[in-house]
A and B are shown apart, each in its own frame.
Chain A
Amino acid sequence: MGETLKGVIDWLFEPTRYFLGSVLLLAAVLYFRRFFSKELVIIAVFALAGAFLAWAVGDHNFHKIITKGDNIPIVILLASVVFFSWLALRQAVINDERKKKGEAGIELELGKQKVFTWPDLVYTEFICILLFTALLIVWSIVVEAPLEEPAALARTPNPSKAPWYFLGLQEMLVYFDPWIAGVVLPGFIIVGLCAIPYLDTNPKGNGYYTFDERPFAWTFFWVGFVLFWVLFVILGTFLRGPNWSFFGPFEFWDVHKLEPLVNVDLSTYFWDGLLDKNIPTNPLVREAPGILAILGWFLVIPPLLGKTLLKGLVQRMGIVRFNVFMHLLLWFALLPTKMLLRWTVNLKYIIGIPEWFFNV
C-alpha cells in the first residue's frame, strides 16, 4: 500500500503532470475562491500536509532531500506562500462580498480610525521581532549550517546546483540556453517588476485586498510568482537530481539514470520533415522558419491583438504602454510556449545557430 502510494506520487510529480496539475489547481482556487478562502480549507490543507510529511519522512530518500540544511527554508517558503495566498484571497473575497452588498471594505472601515503608533504599532513590531528571534535561536541550535568538503575545482559534484533562490532560473535551462534563461529573462523579470506601476492603469484596488476589481492583475501575479517562480524553485530543489534528471520525491538519486535525448530543432522539422530536402548549410537560410516565427511572435502579435481583441486595452493604456506591456508579456509567454512545444513535439530550438551562440 505504502509503496504503491509512493509510486503514484512519484508519477504525479513528473514535471509535465506537476506543472499542468498546478495550473489546474490554481485556476480552480481562483474560480472557486469563495470555497477555497474558507477557514476550514486552510486547516485541512495544513493538516493533510502535516500528515503527509509525518508519513513521508519515514522514507529514506524523502528524508534525505527534505532535511538537507539549505532545503528547510524551501519547506518554509512553500508553507508560507500557501498560507499567505489563502489569507490574501480570504480578505479579497470578504471585501468583494461587502462591496456587493454596498458596504465599505474592511480597510476602508478601519482606515477611518487613527490610532497611536505607541503602543498599537510598536507592540506588534516588538512581538514579531521577539518571535522571530526565538525562532532563529532555536533553529540555529537545532540545525547545523551545511558544510561540505573543502573546495576542489577538479571534482564536480553531480548535481551541481545554484543557491536555492536561483533554482527557478536553473530549471529554465531545461528549455532555454543560458543567455535567455540566465541573462535575458531574469533581466526582463526585473524590468517587468519595475514597470508594473506604470503599466497598471487600473485606479481601483489601491491599498486594500480585492480580486473582483483587478482580476487580471491578481491572476497574472499568481501565475508569475506562485506558479512559475515558487513552483520552479521547488521543482529545481526537490525533484532534480544528478544530470538535472527528474526524480520523484521518493526516488533514489541514481547517477546512472538515463534520459534519452530526443529533441529536434525546428529547422530539422521544417527542411527534413516538411519539405523532405537536405538541411541548408547557411545558418540564416537554415533557420529562416524559426527566425520568421520569432519575428512574428514579437512584431505581429502585438499589433494584431491591438487591432482586434484588445482594442479596448489599447485605448485605456495608450499605445506606448500597450506595446511595452505586450513585449514583456510575450517574453514571459515564451517560457510556457517553449515548455509546451518541448512536451508535445520534443522541440529543441526554435532558432538554433550554435555557431553564434544564438539559440532560442
Chain B
Amino acid sequence: MQKLLQAVRDTQLWRSVFRHGYPDTPRNRTLAVLSNTFLHLHPVKVRRSGIRLSYTWCMGGLTFFLFLVETITGLLLMFYYRPTAQYAYEDIIGIREHVALGVMREMHRWAAHMMVITVWLHMYRVFLTGSYKPPREFNWNVGVILLVLTLLLSFTGYLLPWDQLAVWAITVGSNMARATPFLGHEGPGASLLSFGGLNFVHAGDDARFGLLAGRFVGEGALLRFYVLHCVGLPLAAATLMAIHFWRVRKDGGISGPL
C-alpha cells in the first residue's frame, strides 16, 4: 500500500499538481501555503493570539464563505429564473416543485440572511478589538462599503420572487428615496429646483424613479434589480473583497497587540 501511494506520488502527473510533500514538516507547511493560489491569501505563519475562535469569532471568514455559497446557489437559480413580471413568480414555484435539489432557493435565502448577520458581527468584533485603529483605517472603510453592498445585495434579491412580500417590502424600502433632499419629489428642497413654475424634480425623474425605472415597483424595477443583484453588485463586492483581503495582509495580518 505504502509503495503504491509512493508510486502515485512519483508520477509526473501528481508532481505537476502538488509541488511539495504532505504538509507535516515546516518546509512543506510553508510550501503548502505559498504554492496554493487560495491559501496564499494567508501568511505562512500567524500570531497565535489572532487565530483563536474566541478572538475573531471567524465572522469575516464566514461572511466570505457565505458569499461563495450565494454565488454557487445563485448561479444554479439563474438557470431556472426569468426576471419578467410574467414568468418570475411561476419560475420560483417551479424551482421548488420541479427542479432536482429543490432547496437551492432556501439555501440562497437563508445564507443571505446569515451573511447580513455575520457581516454585522464581524464589524462588531473589529470595533470591540479596536482593529480599525492605525494602520487599518482604510481597510475599515472598505469594510463599511462592503457592509453596505451586502445589504444592497440582499435588498435587490428580496424583490426577485415577485410575490406580495417582495413587492411591498421593496415598495416600502424604496419609498424612502422619494424623500431624498433635493433629489426626491417629496423631499425638502426639491420644490426649490423649479424654473418658471416647471418642476425639475417630479415623480417621473426623481431618485426613486432612477432606482425603480418607473413610478412604482414594476417590470422595469424587476429587471434593474435582477441585473444589479446578479452582476453589478457582486462584481463590486468581489473587487472590494480582493482589496479588503489584500489590505489585511499588508496592514499586518489579523490584528493583535503591537
Contacts and interface: CB of A to CB of B under 8 A. Distances in A.
Contacts of A356: 188-189, 191
Given A125-B61, A209-B129, A107 B113 contact: no
Contacts of B47: 110-111, 113-114
Given A140-B110, A150-B162, A207-B258, A115 B45 contact: yes
Interface in A194-215: 194, 196-198, 200, 203-210, 214
A206 B44 contact: no
B54 interface: yes
A113 B54 contact: no
Interface in A142-166: 143-153, 155-157, 160-166
Contacts of A46: none
A92 B181 CA distance: 42
B105 to A, nearest CB: 5
B173 A163 contact: yes
A36 to B, nearest CB: 15
Nearest to B147: A193
B171 to A, nearest CB: 7
A225 B181 contact: no
Interface string A270-301: 00000000000000000000000000000000
Contacts, number: 284
Contacts of B116: 73, 165
Given A105-B257, A140-B103, A160-B172, A151 B65 contact: no
Interface stretch (B6-14, B119-127, B223-231, B238-246): B119-127
Interface stretch (A23-31, A52-60, A129-137, A313-321): A129-137
Contacts of B165: 70, 146-148
Given A125-B58, A136-B69, A118 B216 contact: no
Contacts of A179: 179-181, 184, 186-188
Interface string A120-134: 111011001100110
A326 B128 CA distance: 21
A88 B55 CA distance: 8
A177 interface: yes
Interface residues of A, number: 94
Nearest to B190: A357
A106 B47 CA distance: 12
Contact of A84 (B65, B124, B162, B186): B124
Interface stretch (A37-45, A182-190, A256-264): A182-190
Nearest to A104: B257
Contacts of B43: 117
Contacts of A200: 132-133
B168 A160 contact: yes
A57 to B, nearest CB: 20
B113 A128 contact: no
Contacts of B69: 133, 136
Contact of B33 (A118, A128, A149, A193): A118
A80 B257 CA distance: 26
Contacts of B45: 114-117
A285 B189 CA distance: 18
Contacts of A242: none
A267 interface: no
A102 interface: no
Interface string B143-171: 01001100100110010011111111101
A166 B171 CA distance: 13
B140 A166 contact: no
A120 B39 contact: no
A264 B62 CA distance: 48
A197 B103 contact: no
A143 B106 CA distance: 8
Contacts of B120: 77, 225
A352 to B, nearest CB: 12
B110 A132 contact: no
A324 interface: no
A245 interface: no
A76 B168 contact: no
A107 B190 CA distance: 53
B162 to A, nearest CB: 5
A118 B22 CA distance: 11
Contacts of A165: 116, 151, 154
A206 B163 contact: no
A170 interface: yes
B137 A197 contact: yes
Contacts of B237: none
Interface in B58-91: 58, 61-62, 65-66, 69, 85, 89
Given A108-B257, A161-B172, A166-B173, A88 B186 contact: no
Contacts of B172: 160-162, 170
Contacts of B123: 193
Which one of B46, B69, B105, B190 has the highest number of Cβ atoms from chain A below 10 Å of its Cβ?
A: B46
Interface string B29-56: 1101100000100111111111111110
B85 A110 contact: no
Given A132-B66, A151-B162, A182-B176, 12 more contacts: A73-B116, A108-B49, A115-B45, A118-B39, A129-B62, A163-B158, A179-B180, A183-B177, A197-B140, A207-B131, A217-B130, A218-B128
